[in-house]
């Protein structure tokens, strides 16, 4: 049920995304696009974001009707799907008007039993729509049923006078829609395009991986007019706050150890919730770094996170005989960063070329969308050790603990530059060289430079420093770049900045005042602290494999 999300007060750091998505169906708002593809890593919180949006529209809104549908739990035979989609829309529409959540869950209630309620609300157009749908069903018109169901929200928005915001969750699963058996009716997802063209019925569509989500479009104009909204991982400090809140006040955990774990989890809410749940089950009241390491190893090898990834893996690779070969290929690619040709791989892995070709075909289709995710890599490693090398659970745990603590020591570079007109350019050149040393992609490095330049300008303009110096420290590792900027002088906090509306800034011709907004958009974490007589700003960016040159 879409109203079954986490409490709003526990939902952290997604207000900007919620505010933007709420504007989509607001007739008076100036949204950037009609429809949105909501993308992000698995576990980043796309489903929870939709549920939070649904809750707010359901309880606070009067005009925009929310409709949520998850393909992950849908029956994918086309006629069953059409009946389910259509009836869920009808019930959610009525529940919104009456503010009666129980109507949403009344899946066993036949549509004809809702007719008295529909009549009492004066929704004659809805009664006509139900008659049309049931007529298509009675005639055995498969495409008529599917199209009638899919177009129901757009038709209701047109005839009912209320915009409808459609949220289609796990839409990539809709590729499995079929008439009698899987694969016998391709192209059914394209039927959604007509409804997506209605200005009164914007769609928010999620799915993983993003590359498959893009494949729904056959109309180039609709593709170009659809916004891509990427849901980033939680910043490190927010991830830590979520982790601590999930542990509860009765459990103490060393902050340094917890932050190290958060870096491993890469701000993924799914991982954070799973491991916090596992740690609570241990019954310990004071958690050490070893406790976290052991719990992490158990979680990725046999816990809820392992169960989640096993379901994804098994769903994508259904032929049982190919699972071991694909695991071997994945581990080879994980260790080498690439795959050799078929003949070379056959020799290295001791597999026949025919079997290798089949495994490579499956591997090419298996795209979990988790490039550079250490948790996913550790899950694959544990499954490989168990199923291919037939290692014991104790051996697997030992290997994972060794991997968990195997991160190399970070490199540290420090410099002091005088405040002046060119100070930020000196800092930008320094980070440019450091970025090249660790092989960052040029576009990614440009964003880092922009954040650093803004921070140095702020230090020059706001500090009133008697030293007239900026202290810089760069801390680099393969997974993370941390930049510390310090300056003496007046205390400064971004929380004290007066928020000036964008329109007012543009009208006044102001070019300053954007610095911290820009920094927070670019970096994963921005911290401002007062250390003795200095203001310290720490910029942290996690590095994914896609952001590193080959």
**Which CATH number goes with the domain that contains 60?**
3.40.50.300
For the whole model, what pTM was predicted?
0.72
Residue 3 in domain: no
Q: Is residue 12 located within the same domain as residue 62?
A: yes
Q: Is residue 297 located within the same domain as residue 330?
A: no
Confirm if 306 and 272 have CB atoms less than 8 A apart.
Answer: no
Which of 361, 391, 421 marks a domain boundary? 391
Q: Is residue 376 located within the same domain as residue 481?
A: no
Neighbours of 335 (CB within 10 A): 9
Q: Is residue 343 located within the same domain as residue 290?
A: no
d(CA 1, CA 69): 9
Residues 6 or more apart whose CB falls under 8 angstroms from that of 431 comprise: 445, 448, 449, 452, 474, 483
Q: Is residue 338 located within the same domain as residue 449?
A: no
Any idea which residue has 């190399």 for tokens?
Answer: 408
Residue 402 in domain: no
Look up the CATH number of the domain holding residue 275. Answer: 1.10.8
Q: Is residue 321 located within the same domain as residue 266?
A: no
d(CA 545, CA 373): 9
d(CA 108, CA 114): 11
Any idea which residue has 């479009």 for tokens?
Answer: 217
Residue 403 in domain: no
Any idea which residue has 């609709």 for tokens?
Answer: 222
Q: Is residue 439 located within the same domain as residue 378?
A: no
Half-sphere exposure in the Cβ direction for 386 (13 Å, CA): 18
Residue 482 in domain: yes
Which candidate, 363, 362, 399, places its Cα nearest to that of 379? 399
Q: Is residue 292 located within the same domain as residue 384?
A: no
Which of 391, 423, 439 marks a domain boundary? 391
Residue 220 in domain: yes
The region, left, alpha or beta by phi > 0 then psi within -120 to 50, assigned to residue 280 is: alpha
Q: Count how many residues are written for the chain.
A: 550
Look up the CATH number of the domain holding residue 523. Answer: 3.30.565.10
Which candidate, 87, 268, 83, 74, places its Cα nearest to that of 171? 74
**How many domains are there within the chain?**
4
Q: Is residue 24 located within the same domain as residue 47?
A: yes
> Nearest 5 degrees, angle CA 126-CA 132-CA 133?
90
First to last CA, the chain: 44
Q: Per residue of the chain (550 residues), what is the pLDDT tens digit?
A: 676 777 777 677 788 888 888 888 776 666 567 889 998 888 889 999 999 999 999 988 778 999 999 988 778 888 899 999 999 999 999 999 999 998 888 777 788 889 999 999 999 999 999 999 999 888 888 888 889 999 999 999 999 989 999 999 999 888 888 777 766 666 677 788 888 888 889 999 998 877 777 777 778 878 877 888 888 888 888 899 999 999 999 999 988 889 889 988 988 999 999 999 999 999 999 999 889 999 999 999 999 999 999 988 887 777 777 777 778 777 777 666 555 555 566 655 566 666 666 767 766 666 676 667 889 889 988 998 888 888 888 888 888 877 776 555 578 888 888 887 678 888 888 888 888 877 788 888 888 888 888 888 888 877 776 778 888 999 887 778 889 998 887 776 555 444 444 344 334 333 444 467 778 888 888 888 877 778 888 898 888 755 556 5
Q: Is residue 287 located within the same domain as residue 356?
A: no
Residue 170: its H or E element: none
- Residue 502 is part of which domain span? 411-547
Q: What is the 3-state secondary structure (H, E, C) of 21-83?
A: HHHCCCCCCCCCCCEEEEECCCCCCHHHHHHHHHHHHHHHCCCCEEEEEECCCCCCEHHHHHH
Q: Is residue 140 located within the same domain as residue 270?
A: no
Residue 517 in domain: yes
Neighbours of 402 (CB within 10 A): 11
Residue 398 in domain: no
d(CA 312, CA 369): 11
Write 240-247 long-range contacts (CB < 8 A, 24+).
241/12, 242/12, 242/269, 242/272, 243/272, 243/275, 243/276, 245/10, 246/272, 246/273, 246/276, 246/277, 246/280, 247/276, 247/279, 247/280, 247/287
- Which tokens in the block code for residue 121? 């609300």
| Alpha carbon 484 to its chain's center | 28
d(CA 331, CA 337): 9
Residue 309 in domain: no
> Nearest 5 degrees, angle CA 89-CA 91-CA 92?
65
Radius of gyration of the chain (CA): 27
Q: Is residue 329 located within the same domain as residue 438?
A: no
Task: Concatenate the DSSP letters of all residues of 244-262 into one string.
Answer: HHHH-TT-EE-HHHHHHHH
Which of 304, 332, 347 marks a domain boundary? 304
d(CA 263, CA 271): 11
């Amino acid at each position: 049920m879409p109203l079954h999300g986490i409490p709003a007060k526990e939902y952290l750091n997604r207000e900007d995304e919620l505010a933007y998505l709420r504007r989509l169906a607001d007739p008076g708002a100036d949204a950037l696009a009609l429809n949105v593809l909501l993308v992000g890593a698995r576990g980043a919180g796309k489903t929870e974001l939709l549920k939070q949006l649904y809750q707010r529209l359901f309880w606070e809104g009067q005009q925009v009707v929310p409709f949520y549908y998850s393909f992950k739990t849908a029956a994918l035979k086309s006629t069953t799907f059409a009946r389910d989609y259509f009836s869920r829309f009808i019930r959610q529409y009525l529940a919104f008007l009456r503010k009666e959540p129980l109507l949403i869950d009344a899946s066993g209630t036949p549509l004809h039993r809702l007719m008295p309620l529909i009549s009492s609300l004066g929704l004659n157009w809805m009664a006509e729509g139900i008659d049309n749908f049931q007529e298509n069903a009675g005639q055995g018109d498969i495409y008529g049923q599917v199209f009638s169901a899919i177009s129901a929200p757009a038709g209701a928005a047109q005839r009912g006078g209320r915009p409808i915001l459609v949220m289609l969750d796990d839409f990539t699963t809709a590729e499995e829609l079929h008439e009698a058996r899987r694969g016998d009716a391709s192209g059914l997802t394209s039927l959604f395009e007509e409804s997506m063209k209605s200005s009164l019925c914007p769609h928010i569509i999620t799915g993983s991986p993003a590359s498959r989500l893009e494949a729904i479009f056959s109309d180039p104009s609709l593709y170009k007019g659809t916004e891509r909204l990427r849901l980033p991982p939680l910043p490190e400090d927010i991830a830590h706050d979520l982790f601590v809140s999930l542990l509860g006040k009765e459990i103490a955990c060393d902050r340094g150890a917890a932050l190290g774990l958060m870096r491993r989890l890469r701000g993924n809410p799914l991982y954070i919730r799973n491991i916090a749940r596992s740690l609570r089950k241990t019954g310990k009241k004071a958690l050490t770094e070893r406790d976290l390491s052991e719990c992490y190893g158990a979680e990725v090898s046999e816990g809820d996170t392992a169960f989640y990834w096993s379901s994804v893996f098994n769903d994508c690779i259904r032929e049982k005989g190919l699972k071991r070969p694909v695991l071997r290929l994945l581990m080879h690619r994980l260790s080498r960063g690439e795959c050799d040709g078929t003949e070379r791989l056959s020799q290295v892995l001791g597999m026949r070329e025919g079997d290798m070709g089949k495994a490579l075909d499956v591997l090419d289709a298996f795209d979990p969308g988790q490039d550079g995710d250490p948790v996913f890599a550790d899950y694959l490693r544990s499954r490989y050790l168990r199923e291919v090398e037939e290692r014991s659970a104790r051996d697997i745990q030992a290997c994972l603990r060794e991997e968990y603590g195997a991160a190399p020591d970070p490199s540290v570079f420090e410099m002091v530059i005088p405040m002046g007109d060119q100070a930020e350019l000196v800092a930008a050149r320094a980070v440019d060289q450091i970025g090249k040393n660790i092989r960052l992609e040029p576009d990614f490095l440009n964003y880092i430079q922009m954040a650093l330049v803004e921070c140095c300008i702020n230090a020059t303009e706001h500090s009133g420093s008697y030293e007239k110096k900026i202290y810089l420290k760069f801390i680099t590792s393969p997974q993370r770049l941390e930049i510390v900027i310090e300056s003496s002088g007046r205390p400064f906090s971004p929380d004290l900045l007066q928020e000036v509306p964008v329109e007012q800034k543009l009208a006044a011709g102001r070019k300053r005042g954007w610095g911290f907004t820009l920094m927070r958009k670019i970096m994963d974490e921005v911290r401002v602290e007062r250390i003795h007589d200095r203001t310290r700003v720490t910029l942290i960016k996690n590095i994914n494999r896609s952001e590193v040159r080959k």
